[in-house]
Each structure stands twice: as C-alpha cells, then as structure tokens.
Chain A
Amino acid sequence: MKLSHIEEEAHWISLYHSGDESALAYFFDLHYRSLCYFANKMVQDADEAKDIVSGCFIRFWEGEHKAQSVQSIKSFLYISCRNACLNYLKQLGTRTRIQHEYYQNIEEADNSLDYAIIRSEVLQILSLEIDNLPEKCRTVFKLIYFDQKKTDEIAEIIGSNEKSVRYFKAKAIELLKTAMLKKGLSDSLYLSLLLLLNRP
C-alpha cells in the first residue's frame, strides 16, 4: 500500500522522533547526494566533502530529535554542511580562486541567495525524475548513462537478452524526452543525449 506524500512524511518524522535508526537511513538516502554535491562545490575536495557530509548526519542524529518536518531537516543538513565547509575553508587559510569566489559570495549581504544550494536542489529534482522511471527502464538508463556499460554487459547484469535491453533503453529515452527535454532546447543537447544512450 503506497502512502500518500503527507502520510509518508509523517511516518518518517515519527520514526525520527523515536530515534529509530531506519529514519537515519531514510534521511541519509534522501539527502546524501545533494549534500555531497554541495560540499564538493564549496571545498573542492572530494575526500574532505565526504567527511563533512558524514559529520552533518552524525550531528543530525546526535542532536535532539525535535524537527517537525522533512523540509526543516533538509535545511538543518544544508546549513550544518555549509557551516562546516566555511570552517574548513577558514582553517585552510589559503584558498583557491574558486573557493575564494564562493566564500565571498556567501559572506555578502543577507538577502543574497545561496546558488550552490539552488544548483544542488535542481539536480536532486532531476535525479528524482530518473528514479521515477519504471524499474527496468531506470536500471538500464543508469547502467548506460552513469556506469557507461554496453548493451551486452547490461543484458548479463539484469539477466535479460539484448533485445529487451534495447527496448528498455528506447522506452527510457522516450519517457525522459517528454520529461526532461524542453522544446526548443538546443538540438545539440538532444543529440548528445541520444548519442550517449545509443552507444552499442
């Protein structure tokens, strides 16, 4: 039985309040990518970003479990992450040009927006779109596009034949075309996506 959006949120918040570890796993699953992407943009160091992000989740779990909504948990994590990144950059003393630019951006006037957070969130929304593809399509799409596997490799991984793989690939393109590709987006985008997906 699939819960409605509101029921599902209430379910996880209540588990979080009672300190149930499956809630930690759930929020981790939901947010680790956007936090990592965001931390990486700020500190420009993949290993450091991993430490910072895991630290955020640890602090989230060790604190009082008082947040009332999924969104406030997301904001807590982003802000905790941002502060940890800024501290790290401060400690670093010397900053690369990119870090410096970003750092300055943050320190500016209160009403300036955090563009890195916006960028993270856009990617998160797009990735959820991919996650919403039907199961086999999603698996095949990820294997082609992210793991860069070939058709025969994919057939073996999912336990299907190559004909089925091509079918799922075509279906994924079709669905993503309507979902993700804007009318009037440059032809080069559509073409490069097709080329990527149509690699043997």
Chain B
Amino acid sequence: MLEREYHIAALIAKQLQNRITKEELEELAKWTAENNENKDFLDRYADQESVLADLRSFYLQDKQEIWEKVQSGTAQKQVRVKTFRLRPWHWASIAAAAVFIIWISTISPFQNKKNGLPIAAGSVDVAAGGSGATLTLSDGKKIRLLDNKQTELALEDGIKAIKSADGELIYSNEASDDHPTSSHYNILSTGKGQTFGLVLPDGSKVWLNSGSRLEYPVSFKGKQSRVVKLEGEAYFEVAKDKKHPFFVNGSSQQVQVLGTRFNINSYPEEQAVSTTLVEGSIRLLSGQQQRLLLPGEQAINSGSTIKVVKAKIEDVLDWRSGEFFFDNTNFAAAFRKLERWYNVEFIYDSQVSQDMLAGGWISMKNNLSAVLALIERSGQVTFRKEGRKIYVYKQ
C-alpha cells in the first residue's frame, strides 16, 4: 500500500548516506522534477540542521510510557499466550549486575509432573487456598463461613445477611425505609489461603484477600459518613452516594472514596501500603499528606512519604482473577503472594540473590508442588519442603 513512499524514502536515505547508485540518482532526480510538491519536499533535506534535529527528536521518544499503555491495553484481553518471555531491552534500566529472572510458564501441571523436580519425599502436598472467612459479631461471637451452602444469618438488631453458595456475605440493602438500624460493628476476616466477598448494606462490594480483616458498621443509617477499617488487602467497588462519603481507614492512612473501584494492599509484612485506583477517584490521607489519585495510578505509602506511580493493574489484581501474575516483581514480594495463598513460609539461604525478578503467571488452583516445580525449571532456585516451611536454595 505504501510501497511508493518506502521506495522514495530508501532513495533519499541512500543519497544522504552517499551510497546512491547512478541509476538511483537519476530516478530520484526524475521524481523531483515530476511536480512542485516533490521538489519542495526534497529541498527540505538540504536544510541539514533540521534533519539532524529531527533525528534527535526521533530518538528521544518515551518508549517506556507508550509500551506501558500498550501492555495495559492488551493485558485485559482473554487471549493468553503459551509462554511469556521478555526481550533483553526490557532489562536495560536495571543496574544490578546480578539480576536473575525466574520464569513461571503456563505449561499445564500434568505436563510438569514428568519434568519437575520432586519435592522432598515423605512430605504432604499443600493444596491451594479457597473461599472462606470468619464473621465476628459485636458481642465477640464468631461464625465460620466455610461451606458452599447458602444460609441466612440473623445478626444483631434484626439485621439479616445471606451467606451465598459461592463465597459472599451479602447484607440486605438498607435502602428501604423499614430496614432496621443498628450501631453495631461486624468484622469479616480471612485466614491464610482464604478469600471472601462482602456486600455492605449500601450495596458496596468488597473482596478480601488472604490474611485480611475488614471492620464495618452493620448499618450506615444515621451516619454522616460510611467508614470501614481494613487490615491486609481488599478490592473495593463502592456504591455512589455523594451525601455520605466512604472512607477506608488503615493503620497508617485513610482513603476517601470519591467514586468507585480500587485495591488496597496493606499487609504488615509488605514495606508500604499500596493503593491502586482502577476507576473513579480517591483521595489518600496520611499524616500531613494527601494525594488525589487518578484511574490507573498507584500510591505507595511508606508511612513517611507517598509516591504515586503508574499501576501494573494485572500484578495488583491478580488475586481477583484466579491467577498469580508477576510483572517484573521482586521475587520476594512474589513469593509473599504464594505464602499468603498456600499458608507456608519461605526461608532463604544466604546464597540466594535478593535481586531476582519474577515474570509470568500461573493459575491459583495449582497445588504448591506444581508451582514450586515450575519455578525450579527456571534454573535459579531449588526448594526443600519441611511441613509448612519451604527452604530456598540457589541452584
């Protein structure tokens, strides 16, 4: 379609490079003589200063920014590829000399049983986590929400909630006038390897990741704001109600919700609290600081500073998709995701480099042995399992 353009460009470049043949020069001269536009165009190349200036701006393009837009644009799609390799240029910005890469490919676990290295004999495999949670009422009574049967729960002050068959606790919507009010608080908490969903009385939805805890009022009626308290990690979809702002309080920050979907990662073992906004807008308040976030941004709150970066949404929300996703994450952070889901502890031998990065994805439904076998295939580490402790060695 653009063959003529490519051909003329090749001739012009050859002339600039002093590589043009006699015949080609004649061809170019003929083209120039065809009409005024052609002549004017070629004349512009006589202004060599502008050619060099153009060349400079040609080089100084923001590759990283554009590539990230492309990646987030293509990542949402269902199409998955067999293996996930990154090209060498991607690592150019990493200064450390000792950077190893752990790949976790998506070859199915069945195939892996043939090739994977065996976990120490005599140990029991660790199953993947699943949905489950504990509901604590304001009087301290605990209700386990484990099985997959739908049950209706009668809580304090006549408030009703339904535990669904698929891992959700749904409070009845208090929009109706005859809905009871209450000043009680409930706590929904998940253990390691558990996740659970929650629908609050205003219709807001919260999904709790493993090892997390949400404290919330059983009824928002009569309250100026809707305030909940989070420890651990949760994804929120907040129902709009401009008259009653929604706040998520944590130990080091408060998030004021101005509109809809975001994820908060505030595990104590992570170095900072990460708040990632998917849609809508939120304001982050921490000590003397506040930041307004835009969709696609992630605020990293170390307690003393708040840094805002472009979010790697897939990496942040992988726990919601049912697949672990590592997007050049520090491998220790990646392993902590595994620790929470499988309820194990990784203990690193001193030889293991701290600079490794992990890339790839794997279904969260796999048993731990399948996951570890895949990681061992990267050739960087090996594992030795003793009960719930996994020792990591340099390979």
**Interface positions of A (Cβ within 8 A of B):** 18-22, 24-26, 28-29, 32-34, 36-37, 50-51, 53-55, 57-58, 61-62, 71, 75, 78-79, 112-115, 117-127, 129, 142, 145-146, 178-183, 185-186, 188-189, 192-193
Residues of A within 8 A of B12 (CB): 118, 122
CB–CB A113/B5 < 8 A: yes
Residues of A within 8 A of B81 (CB): 18-21
Nearest CB in chain A: distance from B330 CB, A: 22
CB–CB A36/B2 < 8 A: no
With the chains together, A71 CA to B90 CA distance in Å?
24
Nearest CB in chain A: distance from B42 CB, A: 10
The prevalent SS among residues of B at the interface is helix
Digitize B17-54: 1 where CB-to-A-CB distance is under 8 Å, 0 elsewhere: 11100000000000000000110010001001100101
Query: Nearest 8 CB-CB pairs, A to B?
Result: A121-B9, A54-B69, A58-B73, A189-B48, A125-B13, A182-B18, A123-B58, A57-B70
With the chains together, A178 CA to B19 CA distance in Å?
9
- Given A57-B70, A61-B74, also A126-B87 (CB < 8 A): no
CB–CB B9/A122 < 8 A: yes
Q: Which of B8, B49, B56, B66 contacts A192 (CB 8 A)?
A: B49
Please tell me the size bucket of the interface on B: 35 or more
CB–CB B60/A125 < 8 A: no
- Given A24-B70, A146-B59, also A29-B18 (CB < 8 A): no
Q: Is B85 an interface residue (CB 8 A)?
A: yes
**Interface positions of B (Cβ within 8 A of A):** 1-2, 4-6, 8-10, 12-13, 15-19, 37-38, 41, 45, 48-49, 52, 54-63, 65-67, 69-70, 73-74, 77, 79, 81-87, 89-90
Residues of B within 8 A of A58 (CB): 70, 73-74
- Given A75-B1, A192-B52, also A21-B84 (CB < 8 A): yes
19 contacts between A and B (CB under 8 A): A18-B81, A18-B82, A19-B81, A20-B81, A25-B87, A25-B90, A50-B62, A54-B67, A54-B69, A57-B73, A61-B70, A75-B1, A117-B2, A118-B8, A121-B10, A122-B12, A122-B13, A145-B56, A146-B56
CB–CB A118/B9 < 8 A: yes
Residues of B within 8 A of A142 (CB): 59
Residues of B within 8 A of A181 (CB): 18
With the chains together, A26 CA to B2 CA distance in Å?
21
CB–CB B2/A78 < 8 A: yes
Residues of A within 8 A of B83 (CB): 20
With the chains together, A78 CA to B70 CA distance in Å?
16
Residues of A within 8 A of B10 (CB): 121, 125
Nearest CB in chain A: distance from B186 CB, A: 43
Residues of B within 8 A of A192 (CB): 48-49, 52
User: Which of A54, A75, A112, A129 has the most chain B CB atoms inside 10 A of its CB?
Assistant: A54
CB–CB A112/B66 < 8 A: no
Q: Which of B17, B38, B69, B82 contacts A50 (CB 8 A)?
A: B69
User: Which of A33, A78, A112, A124 has the most chain B CB atoms inside 10 A of its CB?
Assistant: A33
Known: A113-B37, A179-B18. 18 other contacts (CB 8 A): A24-B70, A25-B86, A26-B87, A32-B66, A33-B59, A50-B69, A57-B74, A61-B74, A71-B6, A78-B2, A79-B2, A121-B6, A123-B55, A178-B18, A180-B16, A182-B15, A189-B52, A192-B48
With the chains together, A97 CA to B364 CA distance in Å?
56
CB–CB A29/B89 < 8 A: yes
CB–CB B59/A125 < 8 A: no
With the chains together, A75 CA to B61 CA distance in Å?
21
CB–CB B41/A115 < 8 A: yes
CB–CB B57/A37 < 8 A: yes
